[in-house]
Each structure stands twice: as C-alpha cells, then as structure tokens.
Amino acid sequence: MMALCALTTQTAAADPILADAGNACPANYEKITSNTQCKLAEDYQGQEKDGTWPSGCYFCDGVEDCEDGTWFNKHRTGSANGGAQPWCTAAQPYGPYGGVLFAGDSDVEFWGTNDAFPGSSNTGVEGDRCEQVNQRLADELEQHNPTEVVLVCGENDLTSGASVETAFARWKNAVEKINDHGARVIYMGTKPEPATKDTHAQYRAFDDLIRAFAIASGGKTVMVDVYPSFEALGNPNSLYRGDEVHLSGEGYSKWDAWVTAALADDDCAVWESGECNSNASYAIPPATLPSAPGTCFFQRVLYLDLLRPT
C-alpha cells in the first residue's frame, strides 16, 4: 500500500502510518483531519459524516460494512468500528495548520489565527488593498510554501474608490498567483459593516463576481460568503469593534468556525453560515454584462465563461 504523500516540505518529517484498529493515534501522532490530504492515500473512496466510524482519514481492509480503501469522515468525534484503522501523521511542533497562510488586510492582521489554527502563518497588513497584497504575494508564497491560503482583500479597494471591475481584476490576479503556486484559496467575503453602508452595493457586486468564479474554479478557489452569513445572524454590532468596521472577538469566532469547515472539505465551492451552499443563486450586476448577440441567457453564459479560471 502506498503511504500518503506530504503536502509541503514542512510535513515531510515522517510518512503517515496506519494505527491499530480503533479511533485514536499512538503517542506523538495525530489524525489526518484534512480531506485534501486524505485524498493522497491509495484507493481513496470518498467522504462521509458518520459517528459510527473513525473520525478523519481511515482505512478499511476486509472490515464488515466498509468498502475496502481509504475514507474521510467529517464527523467531529467518530468512533471505533471493527477493524477500521485511522491514518495518522507525526505530530509536528509547528502545529496541525503548518500549511495554511492567512494573507490580506487588517481583517487578517488583527485575527488571532495562530490560536485557532496552530502553526499557520499570518502576513496581513492593515490598510492593504488587493494591489498591495499582489506586490507581496510572490515572496510570501516562496517563504511559507502553503497548501491553502485564506485570502481577505477587496474591501479597501472599493472604499478607496476602485470600481468593482478593477477590484475584481486585482483579486483575481492574487488568486491566480496562489493557484499557480499549487495552493487552494479560501476567500472570506465582504462584511455588512455598519459604518460602510454606502459601499455595500459595491461589496455585493464584488462578491457576486467572486462567487461565480469560485463555482467555476473546479475546487481551486472557495468562497466563505460572509455577508449573508452575518445577515442571517442579524448582523449585530457585537460582531464588530467600536469602529463598526473591524471584527470583534465574537466576529472572529464565527470566522474561525467557518474556515475550519472549509479547510476540512475540498468539495464545496461556496460556504454560508458554516454550511455548503455551492448551489447558491447569485445576481450578476447588469452593468457588468458584456455586449453579445442573442438572448440574455447567452450573455449570462458568456459572462460566466469570461470569469472561468484558466
């Protein structure tokens, strides 16, 4: 059987092992809790969410009621079942999120990411627009060599006067650099900040373009749709600091939970309120539709094709 491959140079210290049948790893080892990493195992079969099987990545060989091969179980705890064996990897001092880079503006800089995501890297800079993120990105990707990049930028572009189209072009440039490096993007959508209501229409139009891009990306880009998720909570002021722009601890706790879910599942393009919502409808602003012959349907399909990543 082929062992799992390491995703980054940081995780190459030891090959993953199969633990004894059960729902735990031996001392100094930890479970593989990323479906992306689990997929690198030989004979990967798929994912599930079932409390009667081991949580995380596990293997079956001749186990009753389990098709032979590797499975990924999204259940938070799981349980031992017959001869099912967890895949385990050596516990690393840098923490389980050593392949995750948080990049972007003040929402990233002020985020205590290493508390919720031990071992991750944070290069956020207060005030940065997507264009500044782009200027730093090549060096950051080379230095940190991430497998996943949580990206937050665009709001500052729009509030500083950039058009939706310009902000999206800058954002797309950053995403393409990340994808070309071989990393997946998890984009945190705009917030319905109480202090920036005059810009909310642009925020929504910007996110509409990104939502379409994520759906068309084939798994390379994921959107955590923050705006409707905060609205579903009533968008209380308690989600924000006193400036009604930056997130409070309560707001970041929501982001922590939503990013954790997105990191563990690479089959969903759009997340909303912590649940997969890849089939979410979205409205493309009419002013951004290109001129094209034929029906409105033709225009919509053409426009989505223009958004599709190359």
Q: Give the whole-number percent of the chain exceeding pLDDT 70.
A: 84
Q: Give the whole-number percent of the chain exceeding pLDDT 90.
A: 69
What are the residue boundaries of the structural domains of the chain, listed by start?
Answer: 9-90, 100-307
Residue 114: predicted pLDDT: 85
H or E element at residue 167: helix 164-181
Alpha-carbon distance 101 to 141, whole Å?
Answer: 9
Residues 6+ apart with CB under 8 A from 191: 107, 155, 203, 226, 227, 230, 247, 251
Sheet holding 148-152, edge to edge: 121-122, 100-104, 148-152, 184-188, 221-224, 270-272, 275-276
Residue 216: predicted pLDDT: 93
pLDDT in tens, 170-214: 999 999 999 999 999 999 999 999 999 999 999 999 999 999 999
User: Are the C-beta atoms of residues 190 and 208 closer than 8 Å to each other?
Assistant: no
Residue 194: predicted pLDDT: 97
Residue 14: predicted pLDDT: 53
**Mean pLDDT, rounded, for 140-150:** 91
Tell me: pLDDT of 264 over 80.
Answer: yes
Residue 301: predicted pLDDT: 33
Which burial class, exposed, middle or buried, applies to 1 when counting CB atoms under 10 A from its CB (0-12, 13-18, 19+)? Answer: exposed
Residue 8: predicted pLDDT: 33
Tell me: pLDDT of 9 over 80.
Answer: no
Burial track 266-304 (b if 16+ CB lie within 10 A, e otherwise): bebbbbbbeebbeeeeeebeeeeeeeeeeeeeebeeebe
Residue 40: predicted pLDDT: 82
Residue 295: predicted pLDDT: 30
From 82-96, 239-253, 265-279, the region with the lowest mean pLDDT = 82-96
Residue 291: predicted pLDDT: 32
pLDDT in tens, 203-257: 999 999 999 999 999 999 999 999 999 999 999 999 999 999 999 999 999 999 9
Residue 77: predicted pLDDT: 84
Residue 229: predicted pLDDT: 98
**Mean pLDDT, rounded, for 62-69:** 96
Amino acid found at 167: A
- Mean pLDDT (the chain) is 85
Residue 28: predicted pLDDT: 80
Residue 162: predicted pLDDT: 97
Residue 27: predicted pLDDT: 83
The yes/no answer on whether domain 100-307 falls in CATH 3.90.470.20 is no
Report the Cα–Cα distance between both ends of the chain, in Å, rounded.
35
Residue 279: predicted pLDDT: 61
Residue 184: predicted pLDDT: 96
pLDDT in tens, 18-65: 999 999 999 888 888 777 778 888 799 999 989 999 999 999 999 999
Q: Is the dihedral of CA 264, 272, 229, 169 positive or negative?
A: positive
